[in-house]
Amino acid sequence: MSRTIAVVEFDETPELREFEQKLAQNEQEQNKLKTQYPNLDRELTLFSATDGQPDALMIFQALEHHAQRWANVEGIDGRLTRVKEEFAKISPTNAGKCARMLEDFLNSRQEARKELDRLERERNALIENRSRIIPQCLRNYRRLKEVILMSL
């Protein structure tokens, strides 16, 4: 009399498959963003400032809104004439265009950074849950193995 023995692989459990799929999807999404923005963290700091100074975006926005007014300030010390002249050279339209270009550049990268941070938190939670899933899968596998052996 011959018996057929079912071979069940440990990694074939639905819980572990679902875990592996979620982890692979997470990794794929992270890789897509990292490919799209290979220098993300560096690019986020390119136009930033330190020590409480305004960043480039704030400067261009201020120039767009105030350069003409600053160029026409009356009743100032003659030593500040050069300051007025420099403000008069600024095109508020061009300053505004620069502000919008910078804003688009930075916003897309800030969103990518937020998404990468979210994906990293999700990945960490998945890995943390793996410590719960694997023992559970192993117990299920052992039970199945015992049932198979008892049926022999």
Q: What are the pLDDT digits (tens) for 67-119?
A: 999 999 888 778 888 899 999 999 999 999 999 999 999 999 999 999 999 99
Tokens of 123: 């990945």
Tokens of 17: 């498959």
pLDDT the model gives residue 78: 80
Query: Distance between terminal CA atoms of the chain?
Result: 11
- Which of 109, 98, 114 minimizes the C-alpha distance to 58? 98
Residue 148: pLDDT over 80: no
pTM as predicted: 0.72
Give the whole-number percent of the chain exceeding pLDDT 90.
61
pLDDT the model gives residue 53: 94
Q: How confident is the model at residue 15 (pLDDT cuts 50, 70, 90)?
A: confident
Three-class DSSP labels, 25-86: HHHHHHHHHHHHCCCHHHHHHCCCCCCCCCCHHHHHHHHHHHHHHHHCCCCCCHHHHHHHHH
